[in-house]
Amino acid sequence: MVVLTHGESRDRAATTREAKLARRAGFYIFVVGIGIYTDTQEWRAIASDPDESFMWNVTNYQNLSDVANELLHGVCYLTAIKKTS
C-alpha cells in the first residue's frame, strides 16, 4: 500500500489505528510525504518498519518521480507477510 500525504491527517489516532490494522492484515505500507509542512511522527506510525525503507519526502508533486525507482525497487524485494490477529 502506498500512502501519499501532503501534511497530516485530521484524526491522527484513527489514522494510526487503521494503519496498524492494515499491517496486521498483511499489507506493507509505504508513505510518501509531499511538501515542506509535514508530520514525520505520524508517517512513522503509518509506515512499515524500518521507517527509512518505507518513507520518503518530496518537496512538490513534480518531484514524485524522484522516489518512483526507489519505491519500485523496494516493492520488488518484499516477502509475503503472515496475517496476525
Q: What is the pLDDT of residue 63?
A: 86
Measured distance CA(71)–CA(55) in Å, rounded: 9
Q: Where are the domains of the chain?
A: 2-76
pLDDT mean values, one per 10 residues, the chain (85 residues): 88 95 94 84 93 90 85 81 70
CATH no. for 2-76: 3.40.50.410
| The model's pTM | 0.84
Q: What is the pLDDT of residue 85?
A: 62
Q: What is the pLDDT of residue 50?
A: 92
Measured distance CA(85)–CA(73) in Å, rounded: 29
